Amino acid sequence: MRRSYKLITNCRICDSSKIDSILNLGNQPLANALREINDLTEEIYIPLEIIRCNNCTTVQLSVNVDPDIMFKEYFWVTGTTKTATDHLEKLSTFISKRCVKRNPSLLEVGSNDGSLLKILKRRDFGQLYGVDPAKNIVDSINESEIIFYTDFFDYNFTNSFTESNGNVDIVVARNVFSHVPDLVSCLKGVANLLVEDGLFIMEFHEATKILTEIHYDSIYHEHTFYHSIKSISEAAKIAGLNPFDIEVSPISGGSFILFFSKTFKEKTINLIEHEISENNSGVLTFQKWEEFAERSLKNLEDIREYLSKNTDRRVCGFGASARSSTLTNAIGSGCQNIIGIADNNPLKQGKVSPGLHLQIESAKKIITSNIDIVVVFPFNFEEEIISFLKETLNWSGEVYLPLPNTPRVKQI
């Protein structure tokens, strides 16, 4: 069997060897590697640690993981949450607002189940394309007018694509360019794919939110980078892409949508103000990331203490997400009284979580009147989940919210 990961010794962006450890969450299984209940094969455990480059300030994972074992089969789909689909409607408006061309062609990198492309199809767009390596998801899409490729996006892909289809007007990458180790090469691929006056839109979980609200549950092996505006802008400039505007996104508990052009454009006041705010936040300093690590470890202690005090009550989780995998495996044996995890994604139901093997079932099946506590793992969907518990399941009890910041308890 080939080695599943490789430790890095130099920054992926600037190649500096001056890198420091920030937070080590131990050896963990792949966060989205859900298992069948009777699967007895040995799980892969890989170091889960983030590091920081002293030269360019980029925060990144300490390992490169073989992408084939993470992305060829995937269980997260965009269209299963109202929060995500509502956001895509707004994003489609942002894209239309900034593209002056009529019927522009567009390619989405990491198109997943095609949720965004299906929305764009209803608007004034030309030919739409999606590329995603998850064959199980791409094969399930029934959209004849949208062309999907089952492949990894890299520079070689863009060469073969343009030979067949020509260049495109717009490229969109939503929360996927944090996943790729060779980021600069992928960004050069974007520049290669775009027409000269083309538009590139990239969404990413903002490092300032991760830092200030201790989103350490967003650390998992798929997430190679934890981008600031500065770090992604510097990488994009190497590839010949110029940031000129920004929007705020609710995805992942707080994200940015950055807009880039191949031809130079003046930065908007909005982008300049966000860059100043980021610089003032301390996210570009090592000291603030040291504080982040201390607060994260304290949060883990608080969660373990809460669970240990409630061993006589029936506890279940909600959201079998990658976030929940990081969190439960970091908590460890303290999760032993969690009877299972509720999730509304049918692809996940009937499986078990990585590492601790907590059984995943539909919310209607697992959250019954005898459940005393529901631990909400994906806090970025807190309002939607609590509304679902109250209004759809008619459940009442104690909701425990481990993150962000200090753990909270809500009675519903």
The CATH class of 78-284 is alpha beta
Kindly compute the dihedral angle of the four CA atoms of residues 334, 337, 339, 340, in this order, to the nearest 10 degrees: -10
H/E/C letters for each residue in 152-190? CCCHHHHHHHHHHHCCEEEEEEECCCCCCCCHHHHHHHH
At 92, is the pLDDT very low, low, confident or very high (cuts 50, 70, 90)? Answer: confident
Outline where DSSP puts E strands in 33-136. 35-36, 45-53, 59-61, 63-65, 106-109, 128-132
C-beta atoms surrounding 149 within 10 Å: 18
**Residues 251-273: what's their mean pLDDT?**
94
Q: What is the residue-averaged pLDDT of the chain?
A: 91
Element of type H or E holding 398: strand 398-401
pLDDT in tens, 163-187: 999 999 999 999 898 888 889 999 9
Residues 6+ apart with CB under 8 A from 366: 316, 339, 340, 341, 342
Q: How confident is the model at residue 87 (pLDDT cuts 50, 70, 90)?
A: confident
pLDDT at 135: 75
pLDDT value, residue 1: 40
Tens of pLDDT along 299-357? 999 999 999 999 999 999 999 999 999 999 999 999 989 999 999 999 899 999 999 99
Domains 78-284 and 288-411 share a fold: yes
Arithmetic mean of pLDDT, 12-31: 96
Q: How many helices (H) and strands (E) does the chain have?
A: 13, 21
- Model pLDDT, residue 140: 66
List the single range of 69-73, 84-88, 226-230, 340-344 with lowest mean pLDDT.
Answer: 69-73
Cα dihedral across residues 123, 128, 133, 136: positive or negative: positive
∠ CA(152), CA(360), CA(38), 5° rounding? Answer: 85
What are the tens digits of pLDDT across the range 392-412?
999 999 999 999 999 999 999
CA-wise closest residue to 386 among 361, 411, 353, 349: 411
Contact of 62 with 51, CB cutoff 8 Å: yes
Residues 116 and 135: their CA atoms lie apart, in Å, by: 18
Lowest mean pLDDT among 69-83, 231-245, 360-374: 69-83
Please report the sign of the dihedral spanned by the C-alpha atoms of residue 17, residue 20, residue 23, residue 28. positive
Rounded to whole angstroms, the Cα distance separating 282 from 94 reads 29
Q: Which residues are registered as beta bridge partners of 73?
A: none
Higher pLDDT, 59 or 82: 59
The residue with greater pLDDT, 359 or 113, is: 359
Q: Quick: pLDDT tens for 212-252.
A: 999 999 999 999 999 999 999 999 999 999 999 999 998 88
Task: Give mean pLDDT, residues 145-162.
Answer: 90
Confidence of residue 93 (pLDDT cuts 50, 70, 90): confident
Would you state the CATH architecture of domain 288-411? 3-Layer(aba) Sandwich (3.40)
At 167, the amino acid letter reads N
AA letter at 33? A
- Structural domain boundaries in the chain: 78-284, 288-411
- E strands of 262-388, at which residues? 315-318, 338-342, 351-352, 360-361, 373-376
Whether 49 shows a pLDDT value over 50: the answer reads yes
